């Protein structure tokens, strides 16, 4: 049996999700604990918040850039968001599910922010949406479009880390990052989310009720966080 045929007949998404969960756990509690700067270590909650955001930065960097590479590798996926499939996009999606599983548990245990419930609901719905795509090997293109939002999250998380570490808002690096944060917010979040909503409404008849409702709820929550 050819390697490609072996991958086509077996779904390794479950294994990749589990390994991803373990890696983000190890990264948070071991590597990032060792790398936490003194400026983010004045309180235990501040230490946790810095590690949580830094872990999210790792996920955003991998999935945001990875989604761009997947679209470049498989141009046909830009035209068919439902049935086109690639093993790299399936891997990226499974990796992201593992991260959201870990972050869901981490936030439920330690987060004390006012938006905790909304974030947990967002993570739960994303896991359901991505899980449906991972299990059925459908909607890969649409899921990759959702991961493009992570490009903006890279600069958003960097800004949050700088604030925690009390960087001067007038420093050149802070201002440069703010510019990238604003630019990617418009392109990779507002315009991308608007395009996804338009596509979802136009192709409602091509989706199962479960897929349509899950995608719609996720987009509603993302739009809610923009307000």
Q: pLDDT (tens digit, 9 = 90+) per residue, 23-39?
A: 999 999 999 999 999 99
pTM of the model: 0.93
pLDDT tens digit string along 181-218?
Answer: 999 999 999 999 999 999 999 999 999 999 999 898 88
75 touches 119 (CB < 8 A): no
pLDDT at 227 over 60: no
SS3 58: helix
How far apart, in Å, are the Cα atoms of 29 and each of 49, 67, 112, 125? 12, 27, 19, 25
pLDDT at residue 6, as a whole number: 57
User: 9: Cβ–Cβ under 8 A, 6 or more apart, which residues?
Assistant: none
Of residues 74, 46, 55, the one with CA closest to residue 157? 55
């Amino acid at each position: 049996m050819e390697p490609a045929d072996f991958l086509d007949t077996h779904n390794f998404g479950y294994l990749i999700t589990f390994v991803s969960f373990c890696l983000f756990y190890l990264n948070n509690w071991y590597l990032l604990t060792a790398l936490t700067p003194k400026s983010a270590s004045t309180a235990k909650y501040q230490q946790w918040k810095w590690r949580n955001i830094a872990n999210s930065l790792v996920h955003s960097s991998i999935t945001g850039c990875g989604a761009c590479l997947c679209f470049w590798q498989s141009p046909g996926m830009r035209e068919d968001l439902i049935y086109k499939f690639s093993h790299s996009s399936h891997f990226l999606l499974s990796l992201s599910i593992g991260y959201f599983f870990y972050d869901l548990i981490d936030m439920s245990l330690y987060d004390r922010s006012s938006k905790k419930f909304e974030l947990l609901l967002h993570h739960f719905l994303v896991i359901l949406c991505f899980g449906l795509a991972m299990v059925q090997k459908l909607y890969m293109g649409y899921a990759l479009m959702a991961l493009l939002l992570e490009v903006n999250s890279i600069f958003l998380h960097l800004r949050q880390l700088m604030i925690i570490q009390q960087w001067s808002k007038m420093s050149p690096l802070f201002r440069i990052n703010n510019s990238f944060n604003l630019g990617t917010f418009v392109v990779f979040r507002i315009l991308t989310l608007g395009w996804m909503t338009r596509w979802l409404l136009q192709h409602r008849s091509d989706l199962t009720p479960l897929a349509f409702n899950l995608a719609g709820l996720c987009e509603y929550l993302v739009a809610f966080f923009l307000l």
